[in-house]
Structure 1
């Protein structure tokens, strides 16, 4: 659901007040450090109850303050508000408290495109798992529950390994395998579907001339059954006890970007990796729309800056449909080339917004 207005109070460096956003496309133009990314972060916080920039909730409070709030109003008059005060965060939907952020995902799904997306292309396996877990969570509350359950039992299992609680481990092994195989199978289905969307999109934008796709490399092989995995855990018991940690499972899964020569990320240029990270977000938005029958909000934070003009044009042409899109630009960028008749352009200076 789109936002007709965004209100911020003591949120980062944004000036207190309401910003009208009742249009399909909003451009925010300004120099670095003037509030462009903070504005997108306010929207993201409304969508997920947390910042896409990391850090603590306290970091979002304007210097010298101990509280902040953001409120989004939807075109139908409904709205949501996220507040943080005295170390306590409260999320409310139409004045009704939300205790599980899964509800926000269902209400206002958003896809953020930012410089850090390049970590998915060239970063550690953990970052890629994060991306694909996020993609699955956008379309399935059940996946969120399954991931939470696996993480919970994995933590308990690692404690039992460190404490050498053998009787407890026998029980936790069964739970770990049950949740873990569920995750493995869900990730296998997701990667196959995602690959079919990602590969052609990347070729359209990059014009590389060869297919780059997604390959899922699970820690527990797809052909392994529950009994097979339990036997593997039993065989590795002594080593896991010595190290005090679980050595196999979905927390060790890998996602690899491959072409005809193998691991593409190992040989790709910086520009190719940057484009790969952005295309992952395009495919993520398309996957959400295909499964849920709705379009997400798109948040694009200075993502065109490091692309050459032809790639910028192709990237914009391949952006998926959106319920609403917010873009940030530096003043020297040709942002008007990407505007439509309904685009509203704001200039920001020290967190203050003016309409042009």
Structure 2
């Protein structure tokens, strides 16, 4: 079966978000008018995905609100769409946990998530299939069962680099406050997911960097045990710089844009009381601060590796590179990850997510699908009103809530409302 052409590259622009103005610029040269581009998820099919044994559902464009009690499948529904966008969920969620427990007891368990995606005048069919690597896995091994993942676009198996970016989503949940206050790995992963959805070269560089990093760390351990010579490091240093410099370059560019977009959003959400700035800290030594070109970053990276060679050999681990980057969120110079209240951190996370949608739009020309998981429950009335006003301009918004009391009546009249109960939607 021949592969149908998938959407790659920028398309026409769309209307601005109500909460802040964004001039749509693609590749820094092409400017589009404020035309609405149709990007939305149509039919969604789930089979043995978490608590959904089987679901066939047509998602409307515009705003959809899914309500119901806890543990009924609201979050699972949004996560199935995230899986179609990014090919994976949280690093804390093993793939085997995505397969329904009843199905995992079968001789050959599997889970499937698929959907029809409308992009401008083109329809795409995306599919993710999860299944054991071997039929020899027994029920007693279910908790540790290795899972293989198949990605398909229009029925054709493809690599992650060809799959990710076909559907762009931005998801916000109460757990996203951890992006501000918890370990740097969460912030690096956020940057990786955001950039990978709009830049396939970034995803390829990231995959290559992780492979090189693993081999380089293995070599460092061999040198420490006198099983290899230090001179063997030169080749792997060059490979690390080649892929890692592009990661740093794109992280810096995206964070400049995210900082520009998030500042006016946060200004409005805080009534102008808390000016927000986002700072990127690449782990490339002191020279990295002045390197703003790809060539300059490569030079700074190489110099930092040379300076750290002795310590890395002594410790047997790679100490320099984007795998140790961080970013911080500052209000009037104060690190909100350390000194901010939970409410301040939540507002920053919300500002970042709304800025992320604007960033994706400037890169692709399309407004991403917005997924909001029970976000109103932890916002005060003013911020709830501001958020609901902001999301009204999106092509497709999927929201979840335990009840409808926190929504504005006018907002609900414009939304489609569905109840979720025990993995069924009505």
Q: TM-score surpassing 0.5?
A: yes
Find the counterpart in structure 2 of residue 257 from structure 1.
Answer: 329
* Equivalent position of 1:16 in the other structure: 54
SS of 1:313's equivalent?
Answer: helix
Distance 1:267 1:179, change over 3 A: same
Moved more, 52-61 or 137-146: 52-61
Residue of structure 2 in register with 1:70 after alignment: 113
- 238, 260, 273: which is aligned to 1:196? 260
1:130-189 Cα deviation digits (max 9, x unpaired)? 212222222211111222222222222111111113122011122222333332222222
- Which of these residues, 149, 153, 156, is aligned with residue 96 of structure 1? 156
Match of 1:154 in 2: 213
Q: TM-score, normalised by structure 2?
A: 0.77
Q: 1:277 aligns with which of 344, 349, 363?
A: 349
Q: Cα distance 1:205–1:20, how it changes in 2: closer, same or farther (>3 A)? A: same
Q: Does 1:145 align with 2:217?
A: no
From 124, 130, 136, give the equivalent of 1:84: 130
- Cα-Cα RMSD: 2.2
Describe how 1:1-356 pairs up with structure 2 within 5 A. Answer: 1-52=39-90, 54-65=92-103, 66-75=109-118, 78-86=124-132, 87-98=147-158, 100-164=159-223, 165=228, 166-220=230-284, 221-223=288-290, 225=296, 226-227=298-299, 229-319=301-391, 321-331=393-403, 333-335=405-407, 337=409, 339=411, 341-354=413-426
Q: CA deviation at 1:324?
A: 1.2
CA offsets 1:183-224 (integer angstroms, 9 cap, x no match): 222222222222110111111112251311101122222336
- 1:213-263 CA-to-partner distances (Å, cap 9, x unmatched) read 101122222336555543442332222112111112222222111122332
Q: Deviations over 1:292-337 (max 9, x none)?
A: 1111111110011111111111122233843311000112533363
* Structure 2 CA distance for partners of 1:172 and 1:276, relative to 1, 3 Å: same
TM-score by length of 1: 0.91
Stretches of structure 2 that go unaligned for 5 or more consecutive residues are 1-38, 104-108, 133-146
SS in structure 2 opposite 1:69?
A: strand
Query: Structure 1 stretches of 5 or more lacking a match?
Result: none
Q: Quick check: 1:191–1:214 contact (8 Å CA) kept in 2?
A: yes
